[in-house]
Amino acid sequence: MEPAIQFDHVSKRFGSFAALDDVSFEVPSGQSIALWGSNGAGKTTLIRCMLGVTAFRGEIAVEGFSSAKHGKDVRVRIGYVPQVMPLFDPPVGEMVDLISRLRGVDSAEGLRLLERFELKQTLNKPVKSLSGGMRQRLALTLALLGNPHILVLDEPTANLDASSQKDLLTLLHQLKDEGRTIVFTSHRWSEVRSLADTVVHLEEGRVKEMGAVSALALQQDLVFIRLVLDESSISPASTALTSAGFQPYSGDGSVHVTVADAHKMDVFGALSAADVRVRNFTLEVEE
């Protein structure tokens, strides 16, 4: 059976920086694949290459279509959910109509999806007035217009509160059960473990390891630490944690890191050594 997506020696450089370096793997149809790695590991760049919105070396085939040569054909076959749904001015109904028309589908399908994701009451509200959780559900609604077999989600829960994260994950499980191929990035190991069949661990643009979640060396007792820092401390904290061998993720005024329970104090040790002041933190055991 032909894989849904095939990455074949994909490389991408920004000047002298190798964002992706000879990445090759396949995504079987109906499987859920997590791209795992720290900031700058190449996850988002790989997604942009797959969507055919940036030039790269090598070959990516999505259901047989080349991302480099037939970007529009590829994007018709992919439903894309960004990390944050942009703050569009128009009302939800207008956005649904716009994306429906661009995807060549009847906007009645959008109304059905809005109902499924409990967003029908937002039809006349501007997209930018919706809560973060609602906006991500809208992004999922728009991604499913035209019923694509492949869903690509870039950190879909990164900016959501715990309740919205849970709701979105439930929806993603439903979509996975419908047999869709899902490619997603996340910095939460609990999400990866819950949703992914396979994990592709990217580091410095290369595939470090790949396999079933249970078989990876990453699999251990993990904790998720959210560090609240001054804005000016975010970059030094990320640098210090990366130098210490952790995989930090920075966003929404904080730095997140998933770490083996036995090494959680090492995070604070690395920050202290770099003179980074932590204003607050939360710690969750990854289940």
Partner 1 sequence: MSSRSVLTLTQRELLDALRNRWFIVYAAAFLVLCISLAAMIVNSAGYAGISGFGRTAAGLINLVLFLAPLMGLTLGAQSLSAEREQGTLAYLLAQPVSLGEIFLAKFLGLAIAIAGAIAIGFSISSLAIMYWSGGAGVGIFLRLLPLTLLLGWTTLAIGFVISAVSDKTVSALGIGVVAWLLLVLIGDLGLMGASVAVSISPGMLLTLTIVNPLESFRIASILQLRNSIELLGPSGLVANDRFGDLTLWVLVGVMIVWLTGATMLAYVLARRRELQ
Distance CA 77, CA 172 (A): 18
In the list 2, 64, 69, 90, the residue contacting partner 1 (rule: CB under 8 A) is: 90
Q: Which stretch binds partner 1 (CB under 8 A): 60-68, 87-95, 216-224, 231-239?
A: 87-95
Residue 27 or 218: the one with the smaller Cβ distance to partner 1 is: 27
253 is an interface residue for partner 1 by CB under 8 A: no
In the list 54, 66, 107, 242, the residue contacting partner 1 (rule: CB under 8 A) is: 54
x/- contact string, 8-47, with partner 1 (CB under 8 A)?
Answer: ------x---------------------------------
Cβ burial of 108 (10 Å; 0-12, 13-18, 19+) is exposed
Residue 231 or 287: the one with the smaller Cβ distance to partner 1 is: 231
Total binding residues for partner 1 by CB under 8 A?
26
Helix axis angle, 92-103 to 107-116, nearest 10°: 130
Cβ neighbours of 79 (radius 10 Å): 25
Residue 89 or 230: the one with the smaller Cβ distance to partner 1 is: 89
**Site for partner 1, residues 95 to 124, rule: CB under 8 A:** 98-99, 101-104
Distances (CA, A) of 2 to 26, 58, 70, 257: 10, 19, 18, 36
In the list 3, 30, 71, 211, the residue contacting partner 1 (rule: CB under 8 A) is: 71
Residues 6+ apart with CB under 8 A from 77: 62, 63, 65, 148, 149, 150
What is the closest distance, in whole angstroms, from the C-beta atom of residue 278 to partner 1 in the complex? 29
Sites of contact with partner 1 (CB under 8 A): 14, 51, 53-55, 71-73, 75-76, 80, 82, 84-90, 94, 98-99, 101-104
